[in-house]
Structure 1
């Protein structure tokens, strides 16, 4: 089985899209779980579980970047990951209850089982030592996940799982350092940057798809009146604005940037593996707010409502700002301003109805999307003018 060459311009395969269906279910489970347990503790537990889901998907994404997902052996491995992933997703609602050990074992099976496969497949390849290091770190983290699943106390379980996440988060930044095996450099991770970017874009679409699904499904069970329709429209426009901010220009240019980079592994680690997580989390949290607002557009705004209605877009914009900073080296004033405006709404949010809070948040996000459109068009005109000058340097003189 051949390891794919980095930068070969491979496209996402149909089997990878089929694989993603498991994580559509996982995202739905997380969204509904947060809605049912909209407390600080519920939010903390959902964050832990979302990070597990993200890491299970992301490590598999890197694997299919190196290995052809249409190869029979890789497909069989991915089917195994899908089975474990489906079981993991099914146990998410009870992960901090009686199903904790099942969740932990399924997650460990995904992480360790997949890595054993790639470590064996690359045992005579230059990437072999890299995957042996990865296996060492993921095995240590998986042990913490399983021990946590065996602990009955939810808080002790949460602490052990946070420690496991800490190991997984630290590993890439340490180059998966293992005594005797050395450490990896991002230049060793010869990835297809375009493929990795496309995979992350598709996960953003999964999260946005959940948001749109929630919007339609919630309205379908309610009386159709002005308040419910206005809440529905606000939620839908908010989803469109998030799509616009991410996909209208930045996603394509960032994909080109990582594909052309001399060190795509560095951008793959920072911009895609880490910086996409807050964006995905923001969309999921925002979907919870959409469902609440559509179901109850008038009345009292609770603390939980404020947290999801403003926290969702705030997480997304902050994540997108960090993403642009990692790829382009700039932190745009428009995103900082948007974050400030969302934070400024917190003290007065309790004076509004859920519908007014949603409309205000959507307005702020929509203005950012429109600002991006304007900024992109201005930049494109400047580049076209510069290209014209370079093509005809004597044109001003002749004029």
Structure 2
């Protein structure tokens, strides 16, 4: 993750609203291929060991995705050198994605090398934008990549421990980054550009959209060897209904409220919120999409049969993870209501016996009903969610340090 914001001169290159570039969207499409690979890996091996390894792989990759997202938020890829480096980063993520099925086996070293390239390209982008004084931040990421390469050269418990150590190093780095942000003086805030809330929220919203799309594609690929009968079509449509409900839960209200909350925060707080909301809270949301897609894939062709425990847990756990992550997201940003999301996550988990004791159709219908009921109740009780962010207060002579005023608009003739 980015250590600190880039120099203000980079932000001034793009005054006003900053939109996500097509190259950034292209980058996200490549990154989301890793989610597709994780879905396939989980669907083929629905065990707790496999789920744990999917978690490890995702956290490692999503950490570096966040690093790129923070960097391009402050230094847009609008120059040939930056574009070429970003494309090199895409190629590195693609190598990691291709190696995911064997990341804990024969392709472990290949995954580690791909990850090291991801780190090195990001470091080159960061130095190219901010200078060599920021090189210190690349060191922990490079050490983490070395641990993953070492894990690829081993197997069993030793490999798992090395992966966990790499993630622990990342989490420690995030704490150091946040502490550094807390120690930033007001004079430094004037020199440094903060997270651009409009671009940052849009970027992660697009990532979520692409992830939903890839989950539908993953389900469709699972239909190749199945007859297109009523059961298969029904299971597919129920899976789509679940994805649509989860889309609704975030995009209809959360995205706009999140952008307002980030825009109202000062540079230090905005940086902290961006990590807590869009890294930590997004982990269960994106993994929820992966689990749900894997569960639906395993349900295809078995809609009216008892499910094994693995697919039933994947279906319920996918919805529960997403809703719990969204509840955490709302809590971080002070968006209401949020208690219903956590309660709905618990209810979703309670549908596991419906899949194992009745059939997949009943469990899928129950999960759709949980989401629809949640959205309907929230709409009735709180049609316009509010943010708990306090109104900005200005101290004499500090207004420029907290917010950059928008340029005056020219009246139309």
TM-score bracket for this pair, using the shorter chain length: 0.7 to 0.9
How big is the shift at 1:103? 0.3
1:202 aligns with 2:206: yes
Give structure 1 regions of 4+ aligned residues with deviation exceeding 6 angstroms.
none
Question: How many equivalent residue pairs?
Answer: 369
Report the counterpart of residue 390 of structure 1 in structure 2. Answer: none
Contact kept? 1:32, 1:288, Cα under 8 Å: yes
Report the counterpart of residue 272 of structure 1 in structure 2. Answer: 278
Could you list the per-position Cα deviations for residues 98-135 of structure 1 after superposition, in whole angstroms to 9, with x for gaps in the alignment? 11011011102211331233124312xxxx65x33321
Report the counterpart of residue 4 of structure 2 in structure 1. Answer: none
Deviates more, 1:85-94 or 1:369-378: 369-378
Deviates more, 1:329-338 or 1:82-91: 329-338
Q: Distance in 2 between matches of 1:210 and 1:284?
A: 9
Q: Which of 78, 99, 104 is the aligned partner of 1:91?
A: 99
Could you list the per-position Cα deviations for residues 279-298 of structure 1 after superposition, in whole angstroms to 9, with x for gaps in the alignment? 01101110111112223212
Q: Give the direction of change, closer, same or farther, for the CA distance of 1:247–1:150 in structure 2 (3 Å limit).
A: same
Report the counterpart of residue 15 of structure 1 in structure 2. Answer: 23
Structure 1 unaligned regions, length at least 5: 178-182, 381-399
Q: Distance in 1 between matches of 2:378 and 2:227?
A: 36
Deviates more, 1:230-239 or 1:220-229: 220-229
1:185 aligns with 2:188: no
Could you list the per-position Cα deviations for residues 344-376 of structure 1 after superposition, in whole angstroms to 9, with x for gaps in the alignment? 334554212112111111211222233333345
Contact kept? 2:31, 2:90, Cα under 8 Å: no
Q: Which of 5, 8, 26 is the aligned partner of 2:34?
A: 26
Q: Give the direction of change, closer, same or farther, for the CA distance of 1:378–1:100 in structure 2 (3 Å limit).
A: closer
User: What is the aligned-residue RMSD (CA, Å)?
Assistant: 2.4
Q: Distance in 2 between matches of 1:309 and 1:66?
A: 38
How big is the shift at 1:339? 2.0
For residues 32-51 of structure 1, what are the structure 2 equivalents within 5 Å?
32-51=40-59
Q: TM-score, normalised by structure 2?
A: 0.83
Q: Distance in 2 between matches of 1:147 and 1:207?
A: 30
Q: Which of 150, 155, 170 is the aligned partner of 1:147?
A: 150
Report the counterpart of residue 336 of structure 1 in structure 2. Answer: 342
Structure 2 unaligned regions, length at least 5: 1-6, 387-413
1:172 aligns with 2:174: yes
Q: Distance in 1 between matches of 2:247 and 2:320?
A: 15
Q: Give the direction of change, closer, same or farther, for the CA distance of 1:122–1:365 in structure 2 (3 Å limit).
A: same
Report the counterpart of residue 224 of structure 1 in structure 2. Answer: 228
Report the counterpart of residue 135 of structure 2 in structure 1. Answer: 132
Report the counterpart of residue 122 of structure 2 in structure 1. Answer: 114
